[in-house]
Amino acid sequence: MNPDSKIGRRKFIRKTSLGIIGLPFLTSTSWKVAPSDKIRVAHIGLGGMGIQHMKWFSQFDDVETVALCDVDQLRLAEAYKQLSSPGMDAKADTFTDFRYIIDRKDIDVITCATPDHWHALIAIMAFSSGKDVYGEKPLSLFVEEGNRMKKALDHNGSVFQLGTQIHAGENYHRVAEIIQSGILGKIHTVRLWKTGGSPGLGFPLNQACPETLDWNMWLGPAPYSDYNPARCHLNYRYFFDYSGGVFADFWCHIADIMYMSINPDGLYSIDSRGDIPKDGIADTPEWIDVDFRYRDLDVFWTTIPPPVPGADKMHIGAHFEGEKGTLTCDYATKIINTGNESLSDIPEIPQTLPRSPGHQRNFLDAVKNRTQPESNMEYSRKMTLPMHLALISFRLKRKLKWDSQAEQFTGDPAANYLLSRMYRSPWTLPTI
């Protein structure tokens, strides 16, 4: 056991909570929860999602927001301002380099809402310093990073939740229940879609970086590029150096319901088609269609809704085709078709799945109980994997064969090469 690990610290605090050691924790304004049971949280990456994390987590009585970090001083200042304003009314230390947070022994949990190219490294460093992580989707930028995250988590006994908050909702739990009840028969086909793709972003010139932004740190392990605002905040997702476009973003939300419901195994073939925008510097899919072949299951991803009833009204959705019926859903609605009827629920199907107390609460409970939450590391790794493989097929413009046991492409070394990428010096992906 890592002596600095959270479990160690928490046990230590519990034992001595009535002693002088408890005093540093008395800064909390809430007395409903004993200070020793407070989870001390730091937020890394404070764009829109990071601020959301801050708001979500600060509303829990057993959470104390202790540190904020962003490479952009303006964003950091804005987050601090919001945190200290009435409502959240908290104070936190601020950093522009996340390594100060990693080094802090008094922090239990970090949330990470940086661009994707930082996800793995920050999580692994957090695990290794005894912290638990609530990390934004996608899990990582490369498949190999996800594997290393899993190893680091296991090695350190850490807790991880992927920030796919739709997962916690009633609709996804009920959809999974209905499908698992067998009323649709065996599911043989799933259609997933998300309308729209990456914008081109035009052709802005590179420019001098504002003094308030540490661009080198923003890039971190990603390939060097001169500063361009179109590559940075809000738009980074449209570059393969930092993310995988709209597809990578929304796969995590909608493939989630497929994995939650039927947890498919034996993926063996991935065939992507598509194109990148012509009207700008962005290089991720303007549209992408993918045919996935699993053992006993076909999965089709499209950029336009499939021709099934109700799908045209859903910007994002999943359509399950079983031997005895179909179910079409999005985040909040579902249409069930068995025979002639079109239903929004089948009340006779009993509730079999425990409901989430909310995605963040589910994570915090897991942190306290040392269990794994619903969107835990292994679930997230398995669920996001096909997205990475589809983007490799998209980039190489060819159909790929996958060995789901070895987790390697078959007969295509170049495709395997793209499962990882060497980090830009001085950063390295830790081996556990």
Partner 1 sequence: MKKHLLLISCIVLLITSTGSSQNSDFIPLFNGRDLTNWVLAAPEGFEVVLGELITRSHGPGTDIFTAKSYGNFILRLEFLLSEVGNSGVFIWRNPSIQGNGFEVQLLAPWTPWRPDLYCTGSLYGHVAVTNRPDETPGIWHSMEIICDRKLVTVSVNGEVTTIADIDTVETLAGKPYTGLIGLQGNHGRKGQYAKFRNIYIRDLDAEPDYIIKGFYDKNDQRRKLAQIAAVNMGAKMVQPLAGMLSEENPAAYSGAKQALFDIAAKASDPECPENIKKEVNAEVIKSIMNASSDAEINYLRWLSGLITE
**Pick from 66, 102, 276, 311: which binds partner 1 (CB under 8 A)?**
276
Are the CB atoms for 288 and 303 separated by under 8 Å? yes
- From residue 75 to residue 114, the character string flagging contacts with partner 1 as x (rule: CB under 8 A) and all else as - is ----------------------------------------
Q: Decide: is 278 part of the binding site for partner 1 (CB under 8 A).
A: yes
Q: Decide: is 169 part of the binding site for partner 1 (CB under 8 A).
A: no
Q: Decide: is 224 part of the binding site for partner 1 (CB under 8 A).
A: yes
- From residue 233 to residue 272, the character string flagging contacts with partner 1 as x (rule: CB under 8 A) and all else as - is ----------------------------------------
CB of 414 to partner 1, least distance (A): 3
Residue 125: Cβ within 10 Å count: 19
Q: Decide: is 229 part of the binding site for partner 1 (CB under 8 A).
A: no
Q: Decide: is 424 part of the binding site for partner 1 (CB under 8 A).
A: yes
Nearer to partner 1, 86 or 411 (CB): 411
CB of 413 to partner 1, least distance (A): 4
Selected range binding partner 1 among 123-131, 161-169, 187-195, 199-207, rule: CB under 8 A: 199-207
**Pick from 397, 405, 406, 431: which binds partner 1 (CB under 8 A)?**
397
Are the CB atoms for 221 and 272 separated by under 8 Å? no
**Pick from 30, 59, 206, 371: which binds partner 1 (CB under 8 A)?**
206
Residue length of the chain: 432
Q: How far is Cα of residue 408 from the mean position of the Cα atoms in its chain?
A: 22
Selected range binding partner 1 among 83-91, 189-197, 220-228, 382-390, rule: CB under 8 A: 220-228
**Integer Cα distance of 134 and 101 in angstroms:** 15
Burial 271-292 (b: 16+ CB within 10 A, else e): bbebebbeebbbbbbbbbbbbb
Q: Decide: is 217 part of the binding site for partner 1 (CB under 8 A).
A: no
Q: In Å, how far are 8, 119, 304 from 197, measured between CA atoms?
A: 46, 22, 10
Helices (H), 119-214: 119-128, 143-156, 170-180
**Integer Cα distance of 115 and 232 in angstroms:** 9
- Look-up of token digits 């089948």: 346
Nearer to partner 1, 53 or 395 (CB): 395
Are the CB atoms for 291 and 271 separated by under 8 Å? yes
Q: Decide: is 332 part of the binding site for partner 1 (CB under 8 A).
A: no
Q: Decide: is 406 part of the binding site for partner 1 (CB under 8 A).
A: no
CB of 251 to partner 1, least distance (A): 22
Closest to 94 in 3D by CA, of 85, 84, 86: 84
Q: Decide: is 62 part of the binding site for partner 1 (CB under 8 A).
A: no
- Look-up of token digits 């290393």: 148
Nearer to partner 1, 38 or 421 (CB): 421
Nearer to partner 1, 175 or 400 (CB): 400
Selected range binding partner 1 among 1-9, 22-30, 288-296, 392-400, rule: CB under 8 A: 392-400
Q: Decide: is 12 part of the binding site for partner 1 (CB under 8 A).
A: no
Q: Decide: is 416 part of the binding site for partner 1 (CB under 8 A).
A: yes
The CA R_g of the chain, rounded to the nearest whole Å, is 22
Total residues at interface with partner 1 (CB under 8 A)? 28
- And the tokens for 285? 């899919």
CA 363, 367, 370: angle at the middle one, nearest 5? Answer: 120
Q: Decide: is 22 part of the binding site for partner 1 (CB under 8 A).
A: no
Selected range binding partner 1 among 116-124, 176-184, 307-315, 420-428, rule: CB under 8 A: 420-428
Q: Decide: is 281 part of the binding site for partner 1 (CB under 8 A).
A: yes
In this structure, what DSSP letter does residue 423 have?
Answer: P
Q: In Å, how far are 12, 22, 24, 63, 213 from 18, measured between CA atoms?
A: 11, 6, 12, 19, 43
Nearer to partner 1, 230 or 385 (CB): 230
CB of 74 to partner 1, least distance (A): 25
- Could you write out the three-class secondary structure of 22-83? HHHHCCCCCCCCCHHHCEEEEEECCCHHHHHHHHHHHCCCCEEEEEEECCEHHHHHHHHHHH
**Integer Cα distance of 138 and 119 in angstroms:** 8
Are the CB atoms for 243 and 116 separated by under 8 Å? yes
CB of 396 to partner 1, least distance (A): 5
**Pick from 1, 23, 26, 205: which binds partner 1 (CB under 8 A)?**
205
Residue 280, H or E segment: none
**Pick from 36, 189, 225, 333: which binds partner 1 (CB under 8 A)?**
225
**Integer Cα distance of 52 and 300 in angstroms:** 32
**Contact residues for partner 1, defined by CB under 8 A:** 203-206, 223-225, 228, 276, 278-281, 283, 395-398, 411-414, 416-418, 421-422, 424
